[in-house]
């Protein structure tokens, strides 16, 4: 099983942060909202890097979109809920939704529903660590650190992050 | 009538192999015993192989089977809610014979309200025509079993042969009525069959005070209600001289009270225990299993043991089935709404054997005394109108045969027995001729 | 957690079930702080409240919970007359089945009724209190409230005071707290506290014993005069003997114990007026947490599965 190692991930995060820095002004208030689990970890890491780059007004939050998913009737057991933590008002603020993997686009759809129930952001971008083929909705990431394309690529992707799983690795 | 000879049967009480000749025409003194109690009505007994088989007699080779008197059940309610009386009688009779019971006392119930001569006559007629087992109706203590006005005891007893009075499920709350009834009926030699209770203490109670009652949130039924009731009834019986039969004794303390009363010799008292009170405890109720809903409720293990001890030493005269059909629908309700009671006739002897005799808790002699001889002596069903002679039918029991209790093995018309799906030992042959 | 159709008792839940439902209740409570206090998770699902015993509080709490999960709520009021006439629960179940409900929330005076309903229909059945048997949603909100106040339930000492015998709250709440590692004791009129050999829970004799036991939480049960046909204790004695009087409140305040009550409070019976103003009186938190706990329960049950 091919892997993407910690070094590569760290490098990708640096590039990712640079991309955000290039498209947002440093004095702008900017919200990074990670989708639990893993998206929130990525959002925290990006926030840290961006703060070092001088983004002082950057805010970081986390939301659990389980209650907005469209597949509740397809599952027998309900998924456990995780805590959401969005300690700032999103009204009029540009937001970046951060997820680990974007494939079908359904989680991102749920996240959009969820985020609008907290307030009315100025605009919303979708960023992810890994983008896979197999979109089922007209929702595409504005930025993806890795793209897994081609025959069979990324049929199963596992993103492990130190804060959640004890190590940084992407298996696919 | 033909003679019946049973060869090589094992006489259950003493385990001896013997040949027995039953001759309905001969009025012979009994030569068979269960412990020290003679078994009435057997013509001739010899050790196995020594019987001279009389001509024209039917011969049954009973090798390997146990021979014992058929059972007599002093507590049955035969009413099946929603069914015709004819069907109730037919089914109860069939069920009884399957369980080794040849005769039973039928307690009054709403459909069989034996508070007048006509009700008794029509019941006797129907039972004669449709029941394979003997059915003796118990007359009501009060009119309509309502507990306030006495039934016509003279009519019931001298004209219709009633020997036992009972108000079925209901306890006569009016002690004055009961006191006067006992005074009046004492001369008629009537037996008052009553379940001891203090209704004020037991209304809206559903389980023995126990971890089960706590866990299920069922209001507890204090044992002292039965014990106070027992004392009360004993005092009434003593004061009036009436004969008392205590129904469905369920607590250890009740057994002690009855033992003391019997020792004092001042009260004419007999007592019964339901088979389910010997076998099950409140723990069987589990998660609201309505099959185990009974009145009085199933109690503790200690009570079961004391009751069995009472049976063995004769304090408790007999074991009864307390047969009570309940429809499947009614038992599917919640525990509080569901009716109380189990059916027990179909499985009576196999259950007694499997659960008590086989594990060594009860001897065959004790069983024969508690289920055949003493109950029959209380009801004395053979003293017929013509002063007929004593005949206790015999049955054969094959303890090796086993069966699983299922719908087909129950003739009683309902399925409210905890034995459903359980394996029992013993096959009953009754009647023999 | 494994798929589960009904919630009838705490006893029937695994430790994992209890923790998952409690954990999710925290997330549910977060919804209350959003500008839109609603999530679409049960959109299109129908919830029926079937209360044979009147209870505005529990019923509203469930209804608010269902609304916040976007479910449709129907209130079914069994007519008093049909209950008096002895209409069997089975006939009611047949009616409910034809309504194609997804969740049925039942309260009944008979212990064991919700279990019967659950056995005979596909809908998820939630026991909202049956006789003296169980009240699992109350148990969850109590555990949630204690957890919120103290950070954890484990290791806390909770004394439940009052009519234990008739209390489904005492049964379910003591069960969940013990499963979560708390210590529980009972105290109340002798006629209303079942013996320890039946409950497995220590009985304290009086308030002195309660204070000596050093509880973290004093949990008072409501005096249910309406449910007791023949009084089990002289009503005039209650406040003096078993309630939180002003004198006892001072000691409770000194030691910083929390005070809880399932509501509605009979002021001057279980609690004196001043107790309601006490900073560690968690009665209002209980009400708010009740909605979150019930949302979590509704969310975690799956209609149509076999329990």
Domain contains A172: no
Which chain B residues contact residue C198 at CB under 8 A?
Answer: 209-211, 213-214
Of C116, C120, C132, the CB nearest to B217: C132
pLDDT at C79: 67
End-to-end CA distance of chain A: 6
Cβ of C88 under 8 Å from any chain B Cβ? yes
3-state secondary structure of B312: helix
Higher per-residue confidence, B396 vs B52? B396
Q: Per the structure, how many domains does chain A have?
A: 1
Each residue's pLDDT tens digit, B154-211: 999 988 889 999 999 888 889 999 999 999 988 889 999 999 999 999 999 999 999 9
Cβ of B333 under 8 Å from any chain C Cβ? yes
- pLDDT of residue B385 exceeding 70, the answer is no
CB of C140 within 8 A of CB of C293? Answer: yes
Of B209, B210, B218, the CB nearest to C111: B218
pTM: 0.89
Structure tokens at C170: 């005492």
Mean pLDDT in residue range B385-406:
80
> Rg of chain A's alpha carbons, rounded to an integer?
16
What is d(CA C97, CA A131) in angstroms, rounded to the nearest whole number? 46
Domain contains A11: no
Cβ of C70 under 8 Å from any chain B Cβ? no
Higher per-residue confidence, B37 vs A29? A29
- Contact call for B and A: 3+ CB–CB distances under 8 Å: no
What is d(CA A152, CA A134) in angstroms, rounded to the nearest whole number? 11
Of B204, B287, B334, the CB nearest to C113: B334
pLDDT at B39: 80
pLDDT at B235: 97
What is d(CA A153, CA C168) in angstroms, rounded to the nearest whole number? 56
Identify each DSSP E strand in B66-106 by its residue range. Answer: 66-69, 71-76, 101-106
What is d(CA C131, CA C161) in angstroms, rounded to the nearest whole number? 19
- pLDDT of residue B334 exceeding 70, the answer is yes
Domain contains A97: yes
CB of B254 within 8 A of CB of B226? Answer: yes
Domain contains A22: no
CB of C166 within 8 A of CB of C224? Answer: yes
pLDDT at B29: 63
Of the candidates A170, A89, A165, A103, the residue with the CA atom closest to the CA atom of residue A140:
A103
Nearby residues of A8 by Cβ (< 8 Å), 6 or more positions away: none
Q: What is the CATH number of the domain that holds A51?
A: 3.40.50.2020
3-state secondary structure of B173: coil
What's the complex ipTM? 0.89
Domain contains A14: no
Interface-testing mutation among B217, B302, B333, with chain C (most C C-beta atoms within 10 A):
B217
Number of neighbouring beta carbons within 10 Å of residue A91: 11
Residue range(s) defining the domain that contains residue A124: 28-149
Buried b (16+ CB within 10 A) or exposed e, B71-104: bbbbbbbbbbeebebeebbbbbbbbbbbbbbbbb
pLDDT at C229: 62
Domain contains A158: no
Which chain B residues contact residue C131 at CB under 8 A?
Answer: 217-218, 336
Cβ contact C112–B336 (<8 Å)? yes
- pLDDT of residue C170 exceeding 60, the answer is yes
Nearest CA in chain C to A84: C27
What is d(CA C125, CA C141) in angstroms, rounded to the nearest whole number? 18
Percent of chain B with pLDDT over 90: 79
Domain contains A72: yes
Which chain A residues contact residue C102 at CB under 8 A?
Answer: none
Nearest CA in chain B to C110: B336
Nearest CA in chain C to B215: C133
Each residue's pLDDT tens digit, B56-85: 888 899 999 999 999 999 999 999 999 999
Structure tokens at A123: 């605009």
Nearest CA in chain B to C191: B220
Nearby residues of C130 by Cβ (< 8 Å), 6 or more positions away: B217, C106, C107, C108, C109, C110, C111, C112, C113, C114, C115, C168
Each residue's pLDDT tens digit, B357-381: 999 999 999 999 999 999 999 998 7
Domain contains A12: no
Nearest CA in chain C to A67: C41
Buried b (16+ CB within 10 A) or exposed e, C234-265: eeeebbeebbbbeebbeebeeeebbbbbbeeb
Of C111, C198, C229, the CB nearest to B211: C198
Q: What is the DSSP letter of C7?
A: B
Q: Phi and psi for C158 in degrees, rounded to 5? A: -125, 125
Cβ of C135 under 8 Å from any chain B Cβ? no
Of A67, A76, A77, the CB nearest to C39: A67
pLDDT at B387: 47
Q: How many CA atoms lie within 13 A of C296 on its CB side?
A: 32
pLDDT at C130: 95
Q: Shortest Cα distance from C27 to chain A (angstroms)?
A: 5
CB of B43 within 8 A of CB of B54? Answer: no
pLDDT at B431: 86
What is d(CA A122, CA A89) in angstroms, rounded to the nearest whole number? 12
CB of A82 within 8 A of CB of A64? Answer: yes
């Amino acid at each position: 099983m091919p892997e993407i190692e910690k070094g590569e991930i760290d490098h990708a995060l640096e590039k990712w942060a640079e991309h955000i820095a290039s498209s947002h002004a440093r004095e702008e208030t900017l919200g990074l909202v990670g989708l639990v689990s893993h998206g929130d970890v990525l959002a925290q890491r990006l926030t840290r890097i961006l703060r070092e780059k001088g983004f002082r007004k950057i805010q970081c939050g986390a939301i659990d979109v389980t209650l907005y998913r469209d597949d509740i009737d397809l599952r027998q057991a309900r998924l456990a809920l995780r805590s959401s933590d969005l300690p700032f008002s999103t009204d009029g603020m540009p937001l970046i939704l951060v997820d680990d993997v974007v494939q079908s686009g359904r989680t991102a759809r749920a996240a959009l529903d969820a985020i609008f129930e907290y307030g009315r952001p100025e605009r919303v971008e979708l960023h992810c660590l890994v983008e896979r083929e197999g979109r089922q909705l007209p929702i595409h990431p504005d930025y993806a650190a890795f793209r897994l394309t081609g025959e069979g690529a990324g049929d199963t992707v596992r993103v492990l992050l130190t804060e959640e799983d004890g190590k940084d690795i992407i298996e696919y | 009538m033909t003679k019946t000879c049973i060869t090589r049967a094992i006489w259950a009480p003493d385990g001896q192999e013997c040949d027995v000749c039953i001759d309905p025409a001969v009025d012979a003194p009994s030569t068979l015993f269960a412990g020290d109690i003679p078994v009435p009505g057997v013509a001739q007994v010899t050790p196995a192989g020594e019987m001279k088989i009389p001509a024209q007699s039917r011969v049954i080779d009973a090798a390997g089977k146990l021979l014992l008197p058929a059972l007599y059940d002093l507590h049955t309610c035969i009413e099946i809610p929603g069914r015709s009386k004819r069907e109730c009688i037919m089914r109860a009779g069939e069920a009884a014979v399957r369980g080794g019971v040849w005769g039973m006392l039928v307690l009054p119930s709403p459909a069989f309200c034996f508070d007048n001569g006509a009700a008794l006559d029509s019941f006797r007629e129907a039972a004669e025509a449709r029941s394979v087992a003997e059915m003796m109706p118990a007359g009501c203590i009060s009119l309509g079993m309502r507990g306030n006005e006495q039934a016509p005891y003279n009519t019931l007893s001298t004209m219709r042969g009633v020997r036992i009075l009972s108000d079925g499920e209901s306890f006569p709350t009016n002690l004055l009525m009961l006191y006067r009834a006992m005074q009046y009926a004492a001369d008629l030699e009537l037996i008052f069959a009553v379940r001891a209770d203090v209704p004020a203490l037991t209304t809206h109670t559903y389980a023995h005070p126990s971890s089960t009652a706590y866990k299920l949130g069922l209001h507890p039924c204090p044992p002292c209600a039965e014990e106070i009731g027992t004392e009360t009834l004993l005092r009434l019986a003593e004061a009036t001289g009436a004969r008392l039969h205590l129904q469905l004794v369920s607590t250890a303390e009740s057994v002690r009270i009855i033992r003391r009363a019997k020792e004092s010799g001042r009260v004419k008292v007999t007592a019964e225990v339901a088979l389910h009170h010997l076998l099950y405890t409140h723990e069987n109720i589990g998660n609201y299993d309505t099959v185990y809903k009974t009145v009085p409720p199933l109690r503790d293990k200690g009570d079961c043991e004391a009751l069995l001890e009472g049976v063995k030493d004769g304090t408790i005269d007999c074991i009864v089935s307390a047969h009570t059909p309940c429809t499947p629908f009614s038992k599917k309700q919640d525990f509080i709404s569901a009716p109380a009671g189990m059916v027990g006739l179909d499985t009576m002897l196999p259950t007694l054997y499997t659960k008590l005799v086989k594990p060594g808790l009860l001897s065959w002699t004790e069983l024969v005394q508690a289920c055949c001889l003493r109950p029959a002596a209380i009801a004395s069903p053979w003293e017929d109108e013509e002063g007929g002679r004593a005949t206790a039918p015999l049955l054969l029991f094959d303890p090796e045969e086993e069966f699983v209790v299922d719908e087909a093995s129950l003739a009683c018309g309902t399925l409210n027995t905890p034995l459903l799906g359980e394996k029992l030992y013993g096959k009953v042959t009754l009647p023999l001729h | 957690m494994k798929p589960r159709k009904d919630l009838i008792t705490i006893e029937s839940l695994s430790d994992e079930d209890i923790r998952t439902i409690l954990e999710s209740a925290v997330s549910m409570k977060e919804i209350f702080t959003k500008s839109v206090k609603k999530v679409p998770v049960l959109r299109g699902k129908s919830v029926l409240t079937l209360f044979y015993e009147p209870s505005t509080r529990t019923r509203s709490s469930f209804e608010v919970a269902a609304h916040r999960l976007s479910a449709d709520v129907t209130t079914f009021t069994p007519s008093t007359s049909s209950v008096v006439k002895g209409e069997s629960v089975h006939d009611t179940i047949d009616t409910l089945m034809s309504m194609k409900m997804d969740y049925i929330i039942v309260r009944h005076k008979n212990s064991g009724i919700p279990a019967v309903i659950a056995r005979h229909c596909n809908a998820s059945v939630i026991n909202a209190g049956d006789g003296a048997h169980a009240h699992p949603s109350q148990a969850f909100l109590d555990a949630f409230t204690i957890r919120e106040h103290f950070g954890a339930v484990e290791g806390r000492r909770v004394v439940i005071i009052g009519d234990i015998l008739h209390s489904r709250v005492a049964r379910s709440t003591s069960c969940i707290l013990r499963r979560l590692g708390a210590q529980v004791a009972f105290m109340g009129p002798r006629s209303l506290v079942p013996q320890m050999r039946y409950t497995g829970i220590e009985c304290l004799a009086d308030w002195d014993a309660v204070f000596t036991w050093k509880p973290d939480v004093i949990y008072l049960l409501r005096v249910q005069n309406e449910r007791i046909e023949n009084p089990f204790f002289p009503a005039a004695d209650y406040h003096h003997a078993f309630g939180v009087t002003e004198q006892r409140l001072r000691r409770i305040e000194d030691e910083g114990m929390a005070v809880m009550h399932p509501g509605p409070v009979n002021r001057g019976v279980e609690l004196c007026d001043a107790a309601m103003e006490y900073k560690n009186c968690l009665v209002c938190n209980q009400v708010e947490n009740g909605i979150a706990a019930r949302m979590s329960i509704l969310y975690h049950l799956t209609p149509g599965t076999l329990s």
